[in-house]
Amino acid sequence: MRIIKTFNGYKIWTSARDTYKWAHKSGNSWPCSTISDKRLFIEVDKGDLIDLAVNGDNDHDIDSWELSAFISDIIIQYDLKQETI
């Protein structure tokens, strides 16, 4: 996973392994995940989703609630790591 913090948001690149691990984590899994085992590129600016590519394609059918939870988890983890550095 690669994350770049921009002036007002984030750019996030994830591998299929990253999304699989997130969707199947112990005690907090998404059994019918629509992002599991998919590569994602996500751009968020001022809290708004600006760009999304799934497996390199902009034509996607994924659950918005799941995507929001994923983005939230990733950004919280990233920000916590930055605070401890």
pLDDT digits (tens, 9 = 90+) for 5-62: 999 999 999 999 999 999 998 888 888 999 999 999 999 999 899 999 999 988 788 9
Residues in the chain: 85
**Separation of alpha carbons 8 and 35, rounded Å:** 25
The pTM of the full predicted model, rounded to 2 decimals, is 0.87
Angle at 29 between CA 85 and CA 59, to 5 degrees: 90
- The domain total for the chain is 1
Range of the domain at 27: 2-84
